[in-house]
Structure formats: C-alpha cells, structure tokens
Amino acid sequence: MHRAASDVIATAQRILGGLEQDDPVTLANLPRPDVDSPVDFVEQYTGYTSELLPAWGQLTPREQRDAFAAYVDGFGMAVVSRTIARCITELGERGIAV
C-alpha cells in the first residue's frame, strides 16, 4: 500500500526537523545496532575484520570497548546519513526542495 503524498511529505519533514533539533523521540526511533555490549560484538567484529587486524582475543579489554564504541558510532552515523538522504529523495520526488 502506498502512502499518500501528503503523509510522506509530512513524515519526511518531521524526521528531518527532528534530526536537525536532536529530538530525543526522533533519535529513539532510528534503528540501533543489534548488539548491546563488547561481549555481544565478538561475532560482528570477527565477520567485519580482515586478517590485517588483530583477532578479538588479542585485543585488550580497552581495545575491545573502543572497537565496539567505534562500531556503534559508525552505525549511528550511517543510519542518520541514510535517513536524511532518503527523506531528501522522497521530498525531491514530490517537488519539495530541502
């Protein structure tokens, strides 16, 4: 089912405004990584890294926390970036300049 153009416009504008204002409700509704701690991150780290990087077990606890924090930060930045791009695309397709 396709949403009415006015619904899409209103939603995209609301999301963009919420991101611009760091609105907690908007931010809370964005996707989050599916891991909650460095311990849960081991599988993703192993799958994302190459033989050029140390194995998870070779990292110190601080390096493990830093790797997890970098993943969470990168995930969050990518989600915001893609959300903004999608909203701008949706608005542009409906003749609304951002």
Domain ranges for the chain:
5-93
CA distances from 15 to 18, 33, 53 (A): 5, 20, 37
Strand stretches in the chain, DSSP E:
none
Distance, in Å, from the CA atom of 86 to the CA atom of 80, rounded to the nearest integer, reads 10
User: Which residue type, as a one-letter code, is found at position 85?
Assistant: A
| pTM of the model as a whole | 0.80
Angle at CA of residue 78, ends 77 and 80, nearest 5°: 65
Split at pLDDT 50, 70, 90, the class of 3 is: low
When pLDDT is averaged across residues 9-30 and rounded to a whole number, the result is 96
Residue 46 has pLDDT above 90, yes or no: no
Q: What is the pLDDT of residue 88?
A: 96
Q: What is the pLDDT of residue 1?
A: 44
Which residue in 39, 70, 71, 36 sits closest to 56, CA to CA?
39
When pLDDT is averaged across residues 39-50 and rounded to a whole number, the result is 87
Split at pLDDT 50, 70, 90, the class of 2 is: low
Angle at CA of residue 42, ends 41 and 43, nearest 5°: 95
Distance, in Å, from the CA atom of 42 to the CA atom of 48, rounded to the nearest integer, reads 10
Q: Give per-residue pLDDT as tens, 49-98.
A: 888 889 999 999 999 999 999 999 999 999 999 999 999 999 999 999 88
